[in-house]
Amino acid sequence: MVTLAEVARRAGVSPSTVSYVLSRKRSISDETRQKVEAAIEALGYHPHAGARALASNRSNILALMVPLRSDMYVPVIMEIAMAVTTEAREFGQDVLLLTKDEGTQGVRRVAGSGLADALILMDIELDDDRIPVLRETDTPAVLIGLPADPAGLACVDLDFEATGAACAAHLAQLGHRDVALIGEGEGVYKRHTGFAARTLAGFQRGVAEHGLRAVHRACEGTYESTAGVLSRILEERPGTTGFVVQNESAIAPLLSLLRLSGRAVPEDTSVVAICPDPVALQASPRLTSVSIPAEQMGRSAVRLVMAQLDGERDPGPATLIPPTLTVRESSAAGPAARSDGVVRTAGAAT
Amino acid sequence: MVTLAEVARRAGVSPSTVSYVLSRKRSISDETRQKVEAAIEALGYHPHAGARALASNRSNILALMVPLRSDMYVPVIMEIAMAVTTEAREFGQDVLLLTKDEGTQGVRRVAGSGLADALILMDIELDDDRIPVLRETDTPAVLIGLPADPAGLACVDLDFEATGAACAAHLAQLGHRDVALIGEGEGVYKRHTGFAARTLAGFQRGVAEHGLRAVHRACEGTYESTAGVLSRILEERPGTTGFVVQNESAIAPLLSLLRLSGRAVPEDTSVVAICPDPVALQASPRLTSVSIPAEQMGRSAVRLVMAQLDGERDPGPATLIPPTLTVRESSAAGPAARSDGVVRTAGAAT
DNA sequence: CAAGTTAATCGAAGCGCTTCGACTATCATT
DNA sequence: AATGATAGTCGAAGCGCTTCGATTAACTTG
């Protein structure tokens, strides 16, 4: 193994000089810098991570805690993880992968051992038991997701409340009067992450603001449950022409079922999904959707955590990414608009 | 931060004794051990990872290099990553997440800095440029996937050759005479990982052994490309009644297209997929398939790498996991068997 | 031109741990 | 009773780096 001392000897300088060349914490003459860099290159020197961590009290490692299984869609988790890793490298940090099932023990271990400088947590529950540990150990951290009480914690998430409202508004604008939200499974509303509840709240706000009539139903996402949910909605409110879906796995069943029931999308019924873009694009017709900004969430999380490591004390309010609703082929003018003579959107016309 | 010295003071022993309690490298009296453990507990002590790495020359970290984008199906990558992480913890190791686009630089950096003790590489290309670096730096490593020349390297992979053969054999046993393999996209056969080519080779061997007639077509997995591939196959060989699919994304299109063309699955046509179990289970009808043993691959990789860290020199031959073909509802007796009076399988009968 | 700055470098201490050799009991063996 | 093992513990030397203060040389400036 090549050490800093060897580099120093070869460059004819003292070890500390080599260190300063590397860290840029003191000024170094061009001449010296070049000698040192040549020596580093020639020897293929890489600073020893452990020694560095010991001496500087910084490991340059961020720990990312990922759910083993969760309500989240796996590719989204993966995309976040990759975005975090890529962005972390931009800051010269590496990423340590932890699983959520290590729980509070894992947080204690990593924070206590100086293995990582900071934590990024995913799949945040409303009352997440890792949060008190974070507060108590005073570890720099960022949550991807929103807990019940985010005070003093840095958080990143899609603004699901605005998302729900945006979906309702979109359907209202198209002239739909009776709309439905097909959401996540029962359980998701009760325990977990709150994003489902926030979407519902926003949806209801949008519905109220636009004077729509709406129903909401939880849905497990299987073909059977989707069929049950849909038939109940259509029974109660046969005039429902606008749907918002929040469960990726319910999308395909819903589209088939609508087709089977003789309702053409978007001619008779509009569908808006809340899902990753690839899912929306692969459905047929391609779906009008609010995308899950996975990459952006991952990158923001890293930036927030780096700001903390650079001394930022106040995490500020949660970073809520505003939703982007992309109109595609699954939504078009509804009954009210049509009787008003409003023209259909381009997607539907082609 | 609590240090080992503080633990020692509190327990009334020397620092080295605490270290030996922790490492179990020398015998310690029960009495002393208890005092030390009590002190550790009371102080909430966690050994400093960097100091440990420096002194012991072992970081207890495994680096896992994951593809950012690849031919592999994302949930499979995720499952492997999770399995690696979980299994690593069983060995007291943590996992550092690297992206494949860090390439050889990344390997050099991690190996050279002592950040990780060993590497686990995914998405191995036939002529992977990371392999020479591995050899040259003599870093303990395990490949998940099979390169062109695996000599001297520990590898884990599904036995795709046997998988192809097993699929052919299954269709043959059911009495199908004309079969087709719908594979990965063009590109995958050329450059990459070789698993597609190995599957094809095995399929052809199986076909020959059972006296079948077969075609093979690459398929990009979109609806359009699948449609094109299927129609060409049915044009050339209208009597084709057995299909093997290796591209996850071609599965759904294939099933729809068969239905559209009036071929009932499994009554008229049998389909065998090579895909993760969840994909096979979520299709309708549920697919007879050879699963991708993601979890097993991840766990084996960790075990192999730990063996190397424990001094095992010879990696032995590649660990090829034998395929498991699970019969579900998408395959049933074909024309030959039917004329012979062979009964259909249970799945088909229901 | 003496005094004060500033830039560039060095030496040494120390981060928290592991590990080696040395030391002291204790106990079994001659 | 002397010898040798063995178990249990300690002290001290590093592991490779960062960082602080000190030092020197070169440069301003009144």
What pLDDT shows up at residue B313?
Answer: 84
Residue of B nearest to A52 (CA): B50
In order, the DSSP letters of B106-166 are HHHHHHHTTS-SEEEE-S--TT-THHHHHHHHT--EEEES--S--TTSEEEEE-HHHHHHH
Residue of A nearest to B101 (CA): A86
Neighbouring residues of B39: CB distance < 8 A, sequence distance ≥ 6: B7, B8, B10, B11, B18, B45
Question: What mean pLDDT do residues A158-184 have?
Answer: 97
Q: Point out the residue among A75, A85, A284 whose CB comes nearest to the CB of B97.
A: A85
A183-212 pLDDT, tens digit each: 999 888 876 678 999 999 999 999 999 999
Neighbouring residues of A75: CB distance < 8 A, sequence distance ≥ 6: A276, A278, B74, B75, B78
Contact A163, A290 (CB under 8 A): yes
Instruction: List CB contacts (< 8 A) between B109 and chain A.
Output: 46
CA(A29)–C1'(C9) in Å? 10
| DSSP alpha helix (H) spans, chain B | 4-11, 15-23, 30-43, 49-56, 74-90, 103-112, 130-137, 160-173, 186-190, 195-209, 223-236, 248-260, 277-282, 294-309, 335-339, 346-349
Whole-structure pTM value: 0.92
Does A1 contact chain B (CB < 8 Å)? yes
A288-337 pLDDT, tens digit each: 999 999 999 999 999 999 999 998 888 889 999 999 999 999 999 888 77
What pLDDT shows up at residue B289?
Answer: 98
pLDDT greater than 50 at residue A346: no
Instruction: List CB contacts (< 8 A) between B112 and chain A.
Output: 2, 44-46
Q: Tell which wins on pLDDT, A350 or B45.
A: B45
Q: What mean pLDDT is reported for chain B?
A: 93
C-alpha distances out from residue B76 to B66, B244, B278, B296, Å = 11, 19, 10, 11
Instruction: List CB contacts (< 8 A) between B2 and chain A.
Output: 112
Instruction: List CB contacts (< 8 A) between A223 and chain B.
Output: 284
What pLDDT shows up at residue A339?
Answer: 63
What pLDDT shows up at residue B340?
Answer: 55
* Beta-carbon pairs below 8 A across chains A and B: 115
Residue of B nearest to A48 (CA): B113
3-state SS class at A154: strand
pLDDT greater than 90 at residue B5: yes
Token look-up 């452990």 returns: A50
What CA–CA distance (Å, rounded) separates A273 from A292? Answer: 10
Q: How confident is the model at residue B349 (pLDDT cuts 50, 70, 90)?
A: very low
A42-73 pLDDT, tens digit each: 999 999 999 999 999 999 999 999 999 887 88
Nucleotide nearest to A53 (CA to C1'): D17
Does B205 contact chain A (CB < 8 Å)? no
Question: What mean pLDDT do residues B145-156 have?
Answer: 94
Q: Which of B43, B54, B133 to mutate to probe the A interface, most A CBs <10 Å? A: B54
What pLDDT shows up at residue A289?
Answer: 98
Does A99 contact chain B (CB < 8 Å)? yes
C-alpha distances out from residue B163 to A253, B174, B307, B347, Å = 31, 17, 28, 21
Check if residue A20 sits with its Cβ under 7 angstroms from strand C.
yes
